[in-house]
Amino acid sequence: MQATPLRVAIEACTLTLSSGGLARYTAELSTALARCFPEDEYFLTSDRPFAMPKPSLPNLHRGGEPRNAAERRWWLYGLSRELRRLRAEVVHGPDFAVPYLSLTPSVLTLHDLSPWMDRNWHRAAHRVQWRTPVLLRLGLATMIITPSQSVRTAAIARFGVHPSRVVAIPEAAPTWMRPAPEDPPPTSAPYFLFVGTLEPRKNVPMLVEAWREVRRCHAVDLMIAGRRREDFAPIAEESGLHVLGEVPDAALPALYTHALAMVYPSQYEGFGLPVLEAMQCGACVIGSPAVAEAAGDAGVLASGGAQLVEAMRAAIENSEWLAECRARSLRRAAEFSWERTARMTHEVYEEARRRFAA
């Protein structure tokens, strides 16, 4: 049982993004926290305009914005001032950052180590690349959350943080992400599906090549859904290839449900949230080893183009195998929930408060 209510500020710059895992994480976590801990008060605050997550909850509030030019130096000064106005007892930075001034117990979510792994993966991540290591090594983040044990292990090794400060907390699919067999399929042809931000490390060109190989013998389409980042080259049009761009949340369950398989060949992931979303809709998931921790034994892991082609062909040619993959997906997704994520995160907030006071 919770001893005393908490007042928590969550930095909400990720909610300025129109889609993607960072926005999903902040929205789902904040609403789950407010729902699971109704005695607490939660404040979403940013130096930029953002949309509040839905549904609206009485203890999930919009915080203030910078009030003058000095406060526009948000991470150095403005956010700390806002925390005092909100009387926040803990601040959570869900996007690789916490305030530079260590005046309040803080929690930083480190989603992955991709900004430091390959310079071609993040051409506009310079601030994260230099800022986050400083925050971690100087202990400005009281506690650190990672979405997987693999990221936790890598963070401890790379940044030299004490293991007791880093907690792995898995994410989940939203509760509304469910099988939608009653909704019409997006196309009359069978199709494979990719959902995710289009960026270099997602390995989408290899997926397209694998689909072309499969299409030589099978009339099957490929759907690619997601926001395209500026550093990702546009995909050329061709027959059977549907580049959908950003898809409204309401359309995602039907896309997942009717797909032969959700194919996610990413070169590296901290977790791979679309994998769980697809599984919760009962989709077969063909992924790379990068999503092994999220997929568990329910996903089909393919290393390289040849294995990807083989798995995609199996989804077309073996209906019994496909049905078993779908059943395993539903069982795997049931192991995760945002309520569980929220309760584990709340324990980290309490630990941050204890450590800061010590």
Query: Does one domain contain both 24 and 166?
Result: yes
Residue 122 has pLDDT above 80, yes or no: no
Query: Where residue 31 falls among pLDDT bands split at 50, 70, 90?
Result: very high
Give the pairing of strands 60-62 and 221-225.
unpaired
pLDDT tens-place string over residues 93-103? 999 999 998 89
Average pLDDT over residues 323-351: 98
Residue 140 neighbours by CB under 8 Å, 6+ apart: 98, 99, 100, 102, 106, 134
Same domain, residue pair 346 and 317: no
Q: What is the number of domains present in the chain?
A: 2
| Nearest-angstrom CA–CA distance, 244 and 237 | 11
Question: What is the predicted pLDDT for the residue at 129?
Answer: 84
Do 39 and 122 lie in a common domain? yes
Residue 73, in any domain of the structure: yes
- As a whole number, mean pLDDT of residues 25-50 equals 97
State residue 222's pLDDT score: 98
- Say yes or no to pLDDT of 110 above 80: yes
Residue 166 and residue 100 share a domain: yes
pLDDT value of residue 3: 63
Neighbours of 150 (CB within 10 A): 18
**pLDDT at residue 346 greater than cutoff 90:** yes
pLDDT tens readout for residues 301-322: 999 999 999 999 999 999 999 9
The mean per-residue pLDDT over the stretch 132-148 comes to: 94
Look at residue 226 and tell me whether its pLDDT is greater than 90.
yes
CA separation for the pair 131, 149 (Å, rounded) = 23
Distances (CA, A) of 337 to 14, 271, 293, 348: 21, 14, 15, 17
Same domain, yes or no: 257 and 271: yes
Banded model confidence at residue 8, pLDDT cuts 50, 70, 90: very high
Residues 142 and 126 in one domain: yes
Mean pLDDT of 131-154: 94
pLDDT recorded at residue 120: 81
Whole-number Cα distances in Å, 170 to 86, 147, 272, 339 = 29, 5, 10, 11
Q: What is the mean pLDDT of the chain?
A: 94
Can you give the pTM of this predicted structure? Answer: 0.93
User: Where does the pLDDT of residue 23 fall: very low under 50, low under 70, confident under 90, or very high at 90 and above?
Assistant: very high
Is 319 among the domain residues?
yes
Find the mean pLDDT for residues 216-222: 97
Question: The domain that contains 250 carries what CATH number?
Answer: 3.40.50.2000
| Phi, psi dihedrals of residue 60, rounded to the nearest 5° | -115, 110
Give the CA-trace dihedral at 85, 74, 36, 348, to 10 degrees.
-100
pLDDT at 146 over 60: yes
What six digits make up the tokens of 132?
């986050």
Structure tokens at 201: 């490390």
Residue 124's pLDDT is what? Answer: 64
Ranges of beta strands (E only) in 294-355 are: 300-301
Q: Which domain holds residue 240?
A: 191-333
pLDDT at 344: 98
